[in-house]
Amino acid sequence: MVHPKSGWLVTNPSNSPENAHHRDFSICAGPTLDMCILRDLFDNVAKAQSVLQMDSDFGRDVLSARNKLAPLQIGARGQLQEWLDDWDSIAPEQQHRHISHLYALHPSSQICPESTPELAAAAKQTLENRGDESTGWATAWRILFWARLWDGEHAHKILRYLLTPTLTAHNMFDLHPPFQIDGNFGGAAAVLEMLVQSHEKSAEGKRLVRLLPALPSAWPDGSVSGILAKGGFVVGLSWKNGKLVHSEVVSKFGEPASIVYRDKVVDFSKEIGSKTVTSWE
């Protein structure tokens, strides 16, 4: 529906998952999570239409609707708003486990420190407001958020908490009663995101493969191989004294990419099976 005050397209009725215990906003219009998911959905539908060269009128309608969706907003406390209106300060649980409106930061790529710094700062403020400790799956998601903000120290701090007897059993099962695989898969995904990120694209549409974007000081030396990045890239790398030493990236599909480490960029060819081996010393 079209919101009568703003003119934005919004979902209605809706709510913000698991954080809807207050009678004034348990039912709402256009919560941030809905808008973010629809923005990705409409993007993907339009891309599919472009690739398939079918239903061009529908593709244009989808893009038009996407551009009318309620945007991400920053509230009075500097936080990313969870609702269409700035209700975050009156939410009954300020440290609620669910941070669904940061979907834009992870798993989506609508918020990135380099391309959307103001929104990234608002996401950081939201995380600081909500706190670090939660249930297993929500703790894993917090690690992923901090990794996406390129803060390896904070991500590692929460990872250590995830692996305490409070949240992880001796057999490594996540202990959100009685067992929750989300904490296990999410924790493993977070470690990989600390080492390699590939969710971004440049303004020209080129895939960005970032190496060691959130490496904590607790991991000064190491190596990893066989990480499959988005776009079909297989990544291996090694580092010493907290600095990248060597990387090897193989393209499975021939998608153009840029390999990024700090302020250094290596452009990658478009050939299927091509490989780039780089010394970063």
| Domain extent listing, the chain | 1-131, 142-197, 198-279
Q: How far apart (Å, rounded) are the C-alpha atoms in residues 167 and 164?
A: 6
Q: Considering only CA atoms, which of 161, 189, 185, 184 is closest in space to residue 173?
A: 184
What pLDDT, on the 0 to 100 scale, is given for residue 17? 75
Report whether pLDDT(179) > 90.
no
What pLDDT, on the 0 to 100 scale, is given for residue 205? 87
In degrees, to the nearest 5, what angle opens at C-alpha 253 toward C-alphas 249 and 257?
50
What would you measure as the largest C-alpha separation in the chain, in angstroms?
58
Mean pLDDT over each residue of the chain, to the nearest integer? 91
Token code pair at residue 149: 């903000």
What pLDDT, on the 0 to 100 scale, is given for residue 242? 97
The CATH fold of domain 198-279? Immunoglobulin-like (2.60.40)
Q: How many DSSP H helices and E strands does the chain contain?
A: 6, 8
Report whether pLDDT(231) > 90.
yes
Report whether pLDDT(25) > 90.
no
What pLDDT, on the 0 to 100 scale, is given for residue 203? 87
Q: How far apart (Å, rounded) are the C-alpha atoms in residues 12 and 29?
A: 5
Least confident of 49-53, 87-91, 277-281: 87-91
Q: What's the pLDDT band for 117 if we cut at 50, 70, 90?
A: very high
71 prior amide bond cis, ω within 30: no
What pLDDT, on the 0 to 100 scale, is given for residue 153? 98
Of 72 and 51, the structure prediction assigns the larger pLDDT to 72
Cβ contact 198:172 at 8 Å = no
Q: How far apart (Å, rounded) are the C-alpha atoms in residues 128 and 131?
A: 5
Q: How far apart (Å, rounded) are the C-alpha atoms in residues 212 and 210?
A: 7
Q: What's the pLDDT band for 94 if we cut at 50, 70, 90?
A: low
What pLDDT, on the 0 to 100 scale, is given for residue 27? 83
Q: What's the pLDDT band for 98 if we cut at 50, 70, 90?
A: confident
Report whether pLDDT(42) > 90.
yes
Report whether pLDDT(161) > 90.
yes
Please report how the helices 152-162 and 181-195 are oriented relative to each other, as an axis angle in degrees rounded to 10: 150
Q: Considering only CA atoms, which of 264, 236, 261, 267 is closest in space to residue 250?
A: 236
Q: What's the pLDDT band for 87 if we cut at 50, 70, 90?
A: confident
Residue 25, SS3 per DSSP: coil
What pLDDT, on the 0 to 100 scale, is given for residue 4? 84
Query: In this structure, are strands 243-251 and 275-279 parallel, antiparallel, or unpaired?
Result: antiparallel
Read off the pLDDT of residues 202-230 as tens digits, 9 standing for 90 and up: 988 899 999 999 999 999 999 999 999 99
Report whether pLDDT(172) > 60.
yes
Give percent above pLDDT 90 in the chain.
72
The model's pTM: 0.93
What pLDDT, on the 0 to 100 scale, is given for residue 217? 98
Please report how the helices 56-66 and 32-52 are oriented relative to each other, as an axis angle in degrees rounded to 10: 160
Give me the mean pLDDT over the 254-264 stretch.
94
